[in-house]
A and B are shown apart, each in its own frame.
Chain A
Amino acid sequence: MSANVLELDDVRLALPSRHGDRTLLRGVSLSLAPGEALGLVGESGSGKSMTLRTVLRTEPPGARVTGRVLLDGEDVRLLGAAALRRVRAERLTMISQNPRAALNPVLRISRYLVEGLCDARGESRDEATRRARDLLARVGIADVDRCMDAYPHQLSGGMLQRVVIAAAMASSPRLLLADEPTTALDVTTQSEVMAILDEQRREHGMAMLFVTHDLELASAVCDRIAVLYAGEIVEIGTPAQLHSAPRHPYTRLLLDSRPSLTAKTAALPVIPGRPIAAYEVEGGCAFSGRCPWVAPRCSEGEVALVHDAGRATRCLRADELTAELAGPAVSEPAGEPVQAGETEETA
């Protein structure tokens, strides 16, 4: 029995389709300590949302999932309906990209919050109303009366996301699953919602699995980041490690290809091709088809995720490329290894 809140052990997922089974997850393993925030970062089809859904057990109907998903040591994949409901009500909570989907459009916010509290915690109506108002105030809603009285369509996306966060905090769950919670919001609202989420999470000592396509955003709010590609984790590290010395070529190229706020480049470094889906992987390293550092052995057999001093990398050439991947922006990656400024790492 471990002290981790969450442990995923070789989670694989396949969906039946007209063209036979389609693999979406090819063996995801990760762990999350109490109070820790782990970012799952990747492009579309990388499996980041699907990983999160295996925890909540909301994967698409017909999906075949193998592997273990341990919540406080208990495998949620094996729970019966009643036990699962209890876990969802007490220990897990989820915030998604679209808060409108979480709310009933014909119910006032007050009803949504109060009913949730009465159901989940068996509180009296008065008690629940008081708590609901308190929760709204804590997520930075200035006019609590107006918010309680409003219907979802009368509130902006940022307001609604706060309401959903307030509801999520109500049961002080152990683990928060956040699936692109700010992607649909404006940048200034994103900053506020993330600040509130961060504060609430720390206050309640809650662990968080944070799914996003935005590596910078994940870096700002997560303790560690797992980079996903084609249904598997290719690298895990702290934000500082990934930024100053990425070990997987994909991480490095992902960082480089994002335009910078502070400097313009003549041409952005690009990753050739497009992100592939897990079911398109043909053996060998999934990224080998787009990797500028590809070697013949990269296409021979599966590449293991190698753990080393708190980090993990899934690349056969990780050791030889260490200096090059940590060097300045790569425009001609096939050239001479760049002399890396290792001193920068202690920033």
Chain B
Amino acid sequence: MSTTAENVIEISGLCKQFTTGRGRKRRTVRALDDVSLTVADGSCLAVVGESGSGKSTLARVLVGLERADAGEVVLAGRPVAQRPRRAERRARARDVQMVFQDPSGSLNRRRTVEAAIGEVLAAHHRVTGSDARRRIDDLLDQVGLRPAHARALPGELSGGQQQRVAIARALAAEPRVLVLDEAVAALDVSVQAQVLNLLAEIRRARRLTYLFITHDLSVVRQVSDEVVVMRRGQVVERGSTDQVLDHPRHPYTVLLRDSAPRPGWRPRLSINSDISSDTAEAEA
């Protein structure tokens, strides 16, 4: 970790297409259409958009779960190979870790908390035995769990606790970047507040960089310094969080903001249905 780059993430011209169906029903969806963005070291960039906006594809390309058709990703000063070797993949995992929406889907339900975190420690830092146990206790403490939780299976934990375990496991790799893909969307309101505060604390304490993917503008306001708004694979607006939420320029950002329930809000049909994302099928 010897980079001096100001931007921990630099993405330029990223493109990704998916093809579905065959024959006459063959359709191409542009999940990412020339996406460029940078994330400064230690900051939090929120990526907002609705389903089909490409926000999750962006995250998956960034962590290496998906390969881009074109464009470049520079992570912590290192260009990310599109066909990485095993060692490169492992190095990338030390730079960036991901937390998903559904913790019960990302944790093996037959492995204890201890085993889940221990695996990451052993793989990335060759920490085992009593050292590992100490680190696991540390990590659990950082995410607000007790040492006793180490022996629990995911099924014995609540949704909020499971998400804390997923965060602890991500932190075990000691990454510089945490990609959070709707990481608080499935949590109850009171638990969501706890996890949002926890994530803010961890970012401060560890000087982490976050890429926070969400559909929820209230969450964006609370967690992020900057925000990009995505729609149909393109970035339609970007700027500081306050600027974008208080003075949105793109009609789609305005629509998103006006659609968020809040005191005094009334549901309404969007005036310009072309802006709405409710298209049944992705266009060719």
Listed in ascending order, the chain A residues whose CB lies under 8 Å from chain B are 43-44, 140, 142, 150, 154-156, 158-159, 186-196, 198, 213-217, 219-221, 243, 253-254, 257-265, 267-271, 274-275
Mask for B170-196, Cβ within 8 A of A = 1, else 0?
A: 000000000000000000111111101
**Chain A nearest Cβ from B132, distance in angstroms:** 28
| Chain B residues with CB below 8 A from A259, complex form | 193, 196, 218-219, 221-222
Say yes or no: B197 contacts A192, CB within 8 Å. Answer: no
**Chain B nearest Cβ from A241, distance in angstroms:** 12
What CA separation (Å) do A259 and B161 show in the bound complex? Answer: 20
Say yes or no: B197 contacts A213, CB within 8 Å. Answer: no
Listed in ascending order, the chain B residues whose CB lies under 8 Å from chain A are 50-51, 158-161, 188-194, 196-197, 200, 215, 217-219, 221-222, 241, 245, 255-263, 265-270, 273, 275-281
Say yes or no: B192 contacts A186, CB within 8 Å. Answer: no
Say yes or no: A195 contacts B221, CB within 8 Å. Answer: no
**Chain A nearest Cβ from B253, distance in angstroms:** 11
Say yes or no: B221 contacts A257, CB within 8 Å. Answer: no
| Chain B residues with CB below 8 A from A214, complex form | 261
What CA separation (Å) do A221 and B160 show in the bound complex? Answer: 29
| Chain B residues with CB below 8 A from A150, complex form | 280
What CA separation (Å) do A261 and B51 show in the bound complex? Answer: 20
- Given A220-B267, A262-B221, are A189 and B191 also a contact pair (CB < 8 Å)? no
What CA separation (Å) do A275 and B268 show in the bound complex? Answer: 32
- Given A216-B265, A271-B190, are A188 and B221 also a contact pair (CB < 8 Å)? no
| Chain B residues with CB below 8 A from A187, complex form | 50, 215, 217, 256, 259-260
Say yes or no: A186 contacts B51, CB within 8 Å. Answer: yes
What CA separation (Å) do A234 and B221 show in the bound complex? Answer: 30
Say yes or no: B269 contacts A140, CB within 8 Å. Answer: yes
| Interface pairs (19), CB distance under 8 Å | A43-B191, A186-B277, A187-B215, A188-B259, A188-B275, A188-B278, A192-B276, A195-B269, A215-B189, A257-B192, A259-B193, A259-B196, A261-B221, A261-B260, A261-B262, A262-B221, A271-B193, A274-B158, A274-B161
| Chain A residues with CB below 8 A from B196, complex form | 259, 268
Say yes or no: A216 contacts B263, CB within 8 Å. Answer: yes
What CA separation (Å) do A199 and B21 show in the bound complex? Answer: 38
Partner of A267, one of B50, B197, B245, B266: B197
| Chain B residue at minimum C-beta to C-beta distance from A214 | B261
**Chain B nearest Cβ from A129, distance in angstroms:** 21
Say yes or no: B218 contacts A260, CB within 8 Å. Answer: yes
Say yes or no: B256 contacts A198, CB within 8 Å. Answer: no
Say yes or no: B268 contacts A191, CB within 8 Å. Answer: yes
